[in-house]
Amino acid sequence: MQLKLKKRGTITLDKKISNGNFRDCYSIKEDSQICIKKIKSNIGFKQKLQLKLLRPQINHEELNLYNSLPNDIKHYFNPVIHAEKNILVSGRPVDYDGNYSKTLLQHKKVSNEHFWREVKRSASLLAKHKIWFFEIYKGGNVVVKKVSKDKFIPIFIDYKHIGWKSFPIQINLLLDSEKERKFFRIFNKTIKRYCKAPHLFDLPVNSKNIHQIVI
């Protein structure tokens, strides 16, 4: 399938990389360093209604969100390059050896200590700024980028779920205290499920101890 973008001309969708509630993600033939998120044509009625009423500019939301991230945490987030009504263009993380980086979900377990120290730092910085991206620590949203043989870093590839507008709607997330609670609940689940360096963490991690335990 070919798409015509305002700033990039015609591109050709290649393989489907992943799928979400509202969008599918594809590689493109013309550039291996980027990928395309395209709004699905066959989403359910409730999702269509939610997009129309609550998130009509979902792609521009994500672009604006990336651009507004504080400088001290921006490097943890996959860059959003361009947005249109039905299309989002973003980076595609690549390891030092030229292979595409895999998610935590694909790795299943990761023992690299540098990676988990950076995961802790990212959580500490997000807590400092009170940015409660509660779904970014889910296994499918964290890419393990290998910058060298011994050094891995986390890259967050989906970070739009910041509150009650997520699917399905969660009214309790109008409260910052609920956002914070969910942020750390998912963070701790991720550590238990994927981390093979548990000595780096004093679980459960929360807003009271996250700044103190970062190494």
Residues 39-48: tens digit of each pLDDT: 888 888 888 8
Say yes or no to pLDDT of 148 above 50: yes
List the structure tokens of 103. 């998610």
pLDDT of residue 191: 93
pLDDT of residue 163: 67
**Residues 121/215, Cβ–Cβ less than 8 Å:** no
List the structure tokens of 35. 């990928």
**Residues 16/37, Cβ–Cβ less than 8 Å:** no
Task: Quick: pLDDT tens for 88-105.
Answer: 999 999 999 999 999 999
- Domain residue ranges of the chain, discontinuous segments joined by +: 2-91, 102-213
Q: What is the CATH T-level fold of the domain 2-91, as seen in this structure? A: Phosphorylase Kinase; domain 1 (3.30.200)
Question: Between 19 and 148, where is the model more confident?
Answer: 148
The reported pTM is 0.86
C-alpha to C-alpha distances, 28 to 2, 16, 17, 91, nearest whole angstrom: 9, 9, 10, 11
Which of 149, 126, 150, 147 is CA-nearest to residue 136? Answer: 126
Mean pLDDT of 133-152: 94
Which of 166, 157, 2 is CA-nearest to residue 66? Answer: 157
Indicate the pLDDT class of residue 1, thresholds 50, 70 and 90.
Answer: confident
